[in-house]
Amino acid sequence: MEEEDMEEEDLEAGIQSVDSLSRTGIAYISNVAVREKFRQKGIAKLLVAKAESHARSWGCRAIALQCDLKNPAATKLYKGQGFKCIKVPEGANWPQPKTPPDDNFHFMLKLLNKPVASKSN
């Protein structure tokens, strides 16, 4: 499903939140959620792609998120979108998910390519 093909109903199917951590040049996806009846339709991929687009427009060099270890489908989705699991450097001040303290997460990061300017003939 292409972003241009999304109908109004599809826009109500999911949600994403992305913020820029301007001091680091890294955007942070704090939430990606798709209503159950709309899952397995590529909507989560579109939401992540939209977040990446926002991050590029803000001049970010990377985008990050935290993924619940108990959600292997989400981990697979993000890895398929080019995210890598990395270790957060000691003392780094990254946003923490608002979850019980015993929940464990993968910290995932994707380097963003700069948009390529098209050449005019």
3-state secondary structure of 1: coil
28 carries an active-site annotation: no
For the chain, report the end-to-end CA distance as a whole number of angstroms: 31
CA 42 – CA 30 distance, rounded (Å): 19
Polymer length of the chain: 121
Exactly one of 78, 83, 106, 110 is catalytic; name it: 78
Chain center to CA of 9: 21
Q: Which value, in Å, is the radius of gyration of the alpha carbons in the chain?
A: 15
Provide the annotated active-site residues: 78
